[in-house]
């Protein structure tokens, strides 16, 4: 097997590890690799803002830490944090979002 074929095969394997679920591609990703433990962060408070905790995102075949930050509060809504869940020996990531109170 030459290097080009090996590279193409490796790229295909990496791409197959992150399969967006149909209809929810912008919100959900499923991978075979568990995320590392969350990092400790200093929570910042500010009137009129909500703290969005840091989380492990999936980018180019690996977990990447995204730092926590403040977002402007929305009256009548609460923030549901980004999260990873294990299901059937795979890891499912759901992007954080606003939910009505």
Q: Which residues pair with 93 in a beta bridge?
A: 29, 84
The answer to whether the CB of 24 falls within 8 A of the CB of 9 is no
Q: Is a pLDDT exceeding 50 seen at residue 10?
A: no
The predicted pLDDT at position 28 comes to 83
The predicted pLDDT at position 27 comes to 66
Q: Is a pLDDT exceeding 70 seen at residue 84?
A: yes
**Among candidates 56, 50, 84, 83, which has minimal Cα distance to 69?**
50
Q: Most confidently modeled of 20-24, 25-29, 87-91?
A: 87-91
Q: Is 74 helix (H, G, I), strand (E, B) or coil?
A: coil
Per the model's pLDDT, the better-predicted residue between 26 and 59 turns out to be 59
* Residue 72, H or E segment: strand 69-72
């Amino acid at each position: 097997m030459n290097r080009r074929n090996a590279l193409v095969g490796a790229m295909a394997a990496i791409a197959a590890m992150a399969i967006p679920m149909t209809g929810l591609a912008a919100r959900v990703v499923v991978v075979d690799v568990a995320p590392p433990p969350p990092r400790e962060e200093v929570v910042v408070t500010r009137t009129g803002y909500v703290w969005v905790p840091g989380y492990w995102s999936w980018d180019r075949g690996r977990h990447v830490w995204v730092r926590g930050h403040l977002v402007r509060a929305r009256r009548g809504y609460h923030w549901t944090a980004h999260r990873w869940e294990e299901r059937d020996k795979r890891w499912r990531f759901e992007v954080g979002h606003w939910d009505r109170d």
